[in-house]
Structure 1
C-alpha cells in the first residue's frame, strides 16, 4: 500500500497520527513512527523549550521520520516555527490558523508542510502557497472541528488540488482507511484510536471512557462561539451546552474549559475534564500497541481493497 504520501514522508504505511494537544508527545510519536506510520508531536500551547525537549526525546526513541504539529493560535507559534528548522524536524502539520508566513522558511529548510484544512478554499490556498499535502478533516473528528463530514469533504478537496490529500475524521479501522482511499485520499490521519494505545500517556480513566463509549456519546460544544469542539459527553459538556444555550459570553465559557484537557489527560478527571474524542470512539474496544493498531488497520484495508504485496 504505497502512495505519494509514503514517498513524500518516507514512511512504510499511509497512516498519520493526529497532533493531539497533551496526548501526542514523544512516547506516542516515536511508537507510531517505529511502527511504520508518521508520529506527530503536538506543540499545543507549550513553550518552545518544552517542545524542543520533546523533539530531542523522540529522536532518541526512533530513527524514523516524525513531525511536529504547530497550533498557530499559540502565543509561542513563531518561536516554534523557527525551532522545527533548528531541530531538523522532517514534517510540520499546522492547525488553528494560516501558516503562509512560515512556509518559505520551512521549504528552504527542506521541511514537508502539511496544513490541516476543513474547506476546499483553504486547501486550494495552501497548495498555492507551497504546501506539500493537506490533511482534510471532517467533523467526525475529536477536538476542534469544521462543519463538513469526511464523506463530503474528501472528494471535493481531492478534485480541487493536485497535492496529496490525507483524510481525517471518523477513521478507526481498515474499513475507514479503505473508504477514504475510495474517496481519493492517499493516507488516513488517526487520533482517537491512538489515544488508547499502550504507548499513550493518557490517564487510564480517559482511555476507559473511550473504550466504553457508544456511537452517540460525543457532543460538540462551542458552535455559537465559532470554535466547535467534539468531546465525550460528561458534566463539563452538559454545563457548557446549557450556558451556551442561555447566551453566556465567550469569556465565561472559556473559563469553564480552562485547563480541562489537562484535567482529563493527566489527572484522569472524566467528570469535568475535556475528553476529546471522535465519533469513531464507539468502535474502539481495546487497548493495543501502536504496532498492533497499524498492522491491523493495514491488513484489513488491504483485504478490502484486494491489495497484495
Structure 2
C-alpha cells in the first residue's frame, strides 16, 4: 500500500512504531523495520554513547529505514542530532516541536523530520518551519496526551497542513488504518500495540498486566508528573493520587536522583533541561521535578518488571488487545485486515484497488474515498 508516508521514508507499509522510552530499543525497532514498517528508536533515556551504540545495533540487524526520537528541548539535542546524521539515520522524530533551525539543519543533512503534535496550531507551526510530516496524537494515546479525540483532531490537522499526516492514538488494527486513510492521513502510528509484541523487551509479567486490562483500567492522571499522562491504573497510581504535595515532592527528588545516575546527566544539566521544560508552560518547580521523576517510574516497570514501583504508560487500546504477535505477524495482520476492510466497502461508490489516491463516482463531482491507481479514475 503506497502512500505519501511510504514514499517519504521508504518503507513498504504505512505503519509507524512510536519511540517509547525504555521500550523502543534496537530489538523492537529492527523487528519493525524488517516487517516493512517504520520503527522509531527512543533516545531520551539514553546517554550519547548509548544512543550511538543503539543506532549501530539497529543497523546491524536491518538494512531498512528507521528513525530516532529526540527531545527537542534537551540541552544536548545538538549532539544527538550529529549522531543520527553521522550514522545515516533516515528519520528524526520529536515529542516536542523542534526549532526552525534544528529542522533546517536536519533537512540539509538529508534527514526526514517528523515531529509529533497534539494540536492543530502546533502542526501548522512545524509545517511552516519545514517539517516533512507530522504525527498527530489524539487523547486516546498513551503517555503524555491531550484532551481532543483522534477522530476530531486528525481531520483538523489534515485540513490545516499540506504535508503528510500520520494518525496516532487509538489504533491497533487494519480497520483503524483504513479509517485514518479515509480521514486523509498517510498512515498510522502505534505504541501500545507494538509494546505488546513478542519482539518487545518489556518483561512478561508487565505484558500480562496490559493484556488483562480492560478499557476502563486505562486512566488519565496528573499525579505522576503534573501533566496529563495516560497509563494503566495501578496501586502506585492510586497512591500517588492520594499523596499530599510534600510526599510527592520527596518521591520526585529521590527518583530524579536515580535518573541522574542512570542517564549520566549532571544536576546542572537537569536543571537547565528543567528550565527549558518550564519555559512557555504554566508549570511550578514541583511539577518540573515531578516530570524528572517520570523516566525512573517508567523504567521500574518497563525494564525492571516492578509494577508495584513503576507506572505503565498505555493507550486506551490496551483494553482491546489480547495477544503478543511478532512485529512481522502484527504488520502483516494489519495490512490484511485493511485489505478486507476496503473490500467490504460499497463497490459502487468506492474503488477497491489498494492505495490512497482519490477515487470518484462515475457521475459525481467529489471524491468518495481512497484509490490506488495514482491516475485520474475513469
- When the two structures are superposed, what TM-score results if normalisation uses the length of structure 2? 0.77
Q: Is the 8 A contact 1:20 1:191 kept in 2?
A: yes
Matched, 1:301 2:338: yes
Q: Could you tell me which residue of structure 1 aligns to residue 15 of structure 2?
A: 15
Determine the C-alpha separation between the residues in 2 that align with 1:134 and 1:251. Answer: 26
How is 1:10-49 mapped onto 2 (pairs within 5 angstroms)? 10-49=10-49
- How far residue 72 of structure 1 moved from its aligned partner, in angstroms, is 2.3
Determine the C-alpha separation between the residues in 2 that align with 1:254 and 1:105. Answer: 29
Q: Is the 8 A contact 1:203 1:266 kept in 2?
A: yes
Deviations 1:234-282 (A, max 9, x none): 1221122224799964367458646111100111112221111100001
- How far residue 30 of structure 1 moved from its aligned partner, in angstroms, is 0.6
Determine the C-alpha separation between the residues in 1 that align with 2:63 and 2:238. Answer: 44
Deviations 1:109-155 (A, max 9, x none): 11000000111111011111111100001111111112211011000
Determine the C-alpha separation between the residues in 1 that align with 2:198 and 2:88. Answer: 28
Mean alpha-carbon deviation: is it higher for 146-155 or for 214-223? 214-223
- When the two structures are superposed, what TM-score results if normalisation uses the length of structure 1? 0.94
Structure 2 SS opposite 1:230: strand
Q: Is the 8 A contact 2:225 2:288 kept in 1?
A: no
Q: Could you tell me which residue of structure 2 aligns to residue 175 of structure 1?
A: 175
Structure 2, gaps ≥5 residues long = 249-285, 344-351, 355-378
Q: Following TM superposition, where does structure 1 have runs of at least 4 consecutive aligned residues deviating by more than 4 angstroms?
A: 223-226, 244-249, 251-258
Structure 1, gaps ≥5 residues long = none
How is 1:239-250 mapped onto 2 (pairs within 5 angstroms)? 239-243=239-243, 249-250=286-287
- How far residue 44 of structure 1 moved from its aligned partner, in angstroms, is 1.4
Q: Could you tell me which residue of structure 1 aligns to residue 360 of structure 2?
A: none
Aligned residue among 282, 289, 292 for 2:326 = 289
Q: Could you tell me which residue of structure 1 aligns to residue 206 of structure 2?
A: 206
Structure 2 SS opposite 1:259: helix
Q: Is the 8 A contact 1:45 1:76 kept in 2?
A: no
Q: Is the 8 A contact 1:65 1:90 kept in 2?
A: yes
Aligned residue among 263, 274, 278 for 2:311 = 274
Mean alpha-carbon deviation: is it higher for 66-75 or for 259-268? 66-75
Q: Could you tell me which residue of structure 2 aligns to residue 106 of structure 1?
A: 106
Q: Is the 8 A contact 1:45 1:75 kept in 2?
A: no
Q: Is the 8 A contact 1:206 1:265 kept in 2?
A: yes
Larger radius of gyration: 2
- How far residue 229 of structure 1 moved from its aligned partner, in angstroms, is 1.2
Determine the C-alpha separation between the residues in 2 that align with 1:198 and 1:182. Answer: 30
Q: Could you tell me which residue of structure 2 aligns to residue 122 of structure 1?
A: 122
- How far residue 65 of structure 1 moved from its aligned partner, in angstroms, is 0.3
Q: Is the 8 A contact 1:264 1:274 kept in 2?
A: yes
Q: Could you tell me which residue of structure 1 aligns to residue 278 of structure 2?
A: none
What is the aligned length? 309
Structure 2 SS opposite 1:57: helix
Alignment CA distance shift 1:211-1:99 (3 Å): farther
